[in-house]
Amino acid sequence: MSRYLVLLLAFSGLSLNYAAAEETPSFQDNTLSIPRVDTPQQVGKYQFVQFRLAPDGRWDLLQASEPMQAYIDQIEVKILESFPVQIHILVSGNLPTPCYQLDPINKRYADNHFEVAINTTLLQTVIACIQVLQPFQVIVPLDIYGLLAGSYQVHVNDKSTSFELSKDNQ
């Protein structure tokens, strides 16, 4: 079974990442369930992915959802006065309507770049939803312990900012 998973990931060109708060992938009754799939272009590009292992050894895609990103108005770096230093990103934006909710936040770090994806899900409602933007603010802590002094970029959906660590954070 594990060699099928390795082949699947190698051929798809996708990588899996999981935040501590997310569920981990599971394999039960020949079905592989993956909560989040990252692509080189976007963290959390696909969610709730399921594959079924066919008798001939191939993997059939059963489902995958591509979440809608939240509208981001502003991102702001908050440096907490502590050592080791802690960095939070204050994100302000809008949901398309009050009938949407924020999904779990997806994050990854590589080569002095933090990438954050804030996605939305349409709630299942039985009544019509008023067509107005619904403002939100969320604080996203970045895992910066152990980073060396230097400049770092932060990308949240379509917005970018940066911060500087004046000394090693360890």
Q: Tell me, what's the pLDDT at 127?
A: 82
149 and 77 in one domain?
yes
Q: What is the pTM of this model?
A: 0.78
Q: What gap in Å lies between CA 98 and CA 138, rounded to an integer?
A: 16
Write out the residue range of the structural domain in which residue 99 sits: 69-165
Reported as a single tens digit per residue, the pLDDT across 46-62 is 999 999 999 999 999 99
Nearest to 107 by CA among 70, 166, 154: 154
**Are residues 17 and 85 located together in one domain of the fold?**
no
- Per-position DSSP letters for 50-65, written without gaps between them: EEEE-TTS-EEEEEEE
Q: At CB < 8 A and 24+ separation, what contacts does 123-130 make? A: 123/99, 125/99, 129/97, 129/98, 129/99, 130/97, 130/98
- Examine residue 156 and state whether it is found in any structural domain, yes or no: yes
